[in-house]
Amino acid sequence: MPLVGGNKKLKMFHEVSQSSSKGPALVTVLKEITERVGETLQAHAVAVFLYNEQGEYLLAQEPSRGLNPGVTNDLKLDMTVPGPLSDSFRDSKPLLIARRNSKNINSSILPDYKVVDLIANPLSTRGKDIGLIVLANKMNRKGFTARDLKFLELLSPQISVFLDNALLYRKSEEKLAQLTSLIRVVDAINTVSSLDHLYNLALDVIKGLFRVDKALINIVNNQTGLLETVRSFGYSQEYIRSHLSHPFEKVEKCYVMRFDGAFLCLDVAEEGRCPNISIDKDTRSVLCVPVRSGKNTYGILHMASDARNAFDDDDATLANAIGEQIGMAVESARLFEEINRLAITDGLTGLYNVRHLKRVLGEEVRRSLRYSRPLSFIMLDIDYFKVYNDNNGHPRGDDLLRILAGLLRQNTRDVDTVFRYGGEEFSVIIPEVCKQEAFSMADRIRRVIQDYAFSLEDGQPGGNLTVSMGVANLPADAVDSAELIEKADRALYRAKQMGRNTACSYAAEHDTDASHVWGPSPDNRGQP
């Protein structure tokens, strides 16, 4: 005796096969399977549960038969919790719950759907578990029988093949999309010249291509040798405050940096290779790859998921390719930034040059005028620098300029900016400082330089090396950056006229005389 109408069975196989051959899209295959199996076995509801790639649960797929999409999308069978369906899948055994035993059905299987009888069978092919097909509520009063279950067993191998082909097709489509995205990433990365923009783009790429809950970009600080987190997403504010504000780890303690290759961890609970693997309590799997270009490794991309087995070898290969592209971009961006730095930096002293002074001063003037805040500016010139050069040679003169640049850095605030204006002239931008405070600062700097024991300074007029300084202020003395420089330069010229080793402020009524002059005693001012 046939189990179920033989013609119906053959017809159903043919229809599902025909539909699958037309297009292996998973949605199409699921629709055909649930509809045809449901019609043949007269089931109110049919759903296919697929084993998720993380191996932790069975997830119901849409489309299904007889269930609202909202219900289907919420159906998840936790494999760690015992139950009739999870046991059926785990033990690879068919399941029949007849109406008389319906009290054994876990009510959480189909929320808001009263299940009175049920059959289910595991799906597997090529030695791989795929999922579970579940039928609920036979249309006739007898409910599902052993014959129905046997028929479902016979159908399951073919259903498994259809689903496996559809899943393989979907995966190939995902990989093609990833490769397409990678090409776009390469194009985008190669146009980025700013490291900040590069790091932001890299995080967007990671979020788009991988199943990640959080990620870090750690770059080696060349001065400290530490991996410092330059960008992140997915971490709590508490974690960021307690961890990401500090250097992440010494380079030699990082697995990826030591072995210069991808680090793939499927379950942090079973991982012992890297001490930093579980950097927060929710992390379950991790993928780290080096950010490198050629033989130079600049840091790592650290990706984490709250699910086990979230990454595979294909992900590691793709992440490595992205890491190399980002590494080349980091190298290019650093070179670009270095070129820009050199363009605005004095090569001898390491201070900013006059080109950068004009840009920064213009910005500070606009800010000062907008917010009605004072802005002061100092011009400084080394007294009798030509004498020092003639007596001791230009190499010694260069050393003197470097030492003086260091003294200026040490004796100004972090918010102040020191420049080499040209030759033996220097300047300092002093934001939000009034005239009187700027005078005090200028005098203090003058005294520091006067008291410093410069090499071979005894050959200078007066026996030691000194400087003259001019101070101007906005809005007191100027309305724009050009006028501020001009007025400070006039004050400097007046300081020279007053006998050098002097700080002098600009005053309009004293264009031919000094105002607010600080320096050595009058007895010494008249000396050349």
Helices (H), 146-192: 146-189
- In sequence order, what are the residues at sequence separation of 6 or more whose Cβ sits closer than 8 angstroms to the Cβ of residue 359? 344
Query: By three-state DSSP, how is residue 214 classified?
Result: strand
What is the C-alpha to C-alpha distance for residues 365 and 478, in angstroms, rounded to an integer? 10
- The answer to whether 37 and 135 have CB atoms below 8 angstroms apart is yes
* φ, ψ at 149 (rounded to 5°): -65, -40
- In sequence order, what are the residues at sequence separation of 6 or more whose Cβ sits closer than 8 angstroms to the Cβ of residue 456? 388, 391, 392, 396
Pick the closest to residue 451 from 508, 515, 495, 407 (CA basis): 407
- The answer to whether 450 and 463 have CB atoms below 8 angstroms apart is no
Tokens of 319: 């992440």
What is the C-alpha to C-alpha distance for residues 263 and 286, in angstroms, rounded to an integer? 8
- In sequence order, what are the residues at sequence separation of 6 or more whose Cβ sits closer than 8 angstroms to the Cβ of residue 424? 381, 382, 385, 401
Cα 498 to Cα 24, 254, 264, 468, 512: the distances in Å are 92, 62, 73, 10, 11
What is the C-alpha to C-alpha distance for residues 129 and 124, in angstroms, rounded to an integer? 4
Tokens of 183: 């090409």
Catalytically annotated residues:
424
**Residue 347 host element (H or E):** none
What is the C-alpha to C-alpha distance for residues 396 and 118, in angstroms, rounded to an integer? 95
- The answer to whether 402 and 449 have CB atoms below 8 angstroms apart is no
- In sequence order, what are the residues at sequence separation of 6 or more whose Cβ sits closer than 8 angstroms to the Cβ of residue 420? 346, 348, 349, 351, 352, 353, 354, 401, 405, 426
How would you classify the pairing of strands 43-51 and 57-60? Answer: antiparallel
Q: What order of strands is seen across the sheet that includes strand 296-305?
A: 249-250, 226-233, 214-220, 296-305, 285-293, 263-265
What is the C-alpha to C-alpha distance for residues 330 and 333, in angstroms, rounded to an integer? 5
- 349, HSE (Cβ side, Cα atoms, 13 Å): 27
Tell me the CA end-to-end span of the chain in Å, nearest whole number.
126
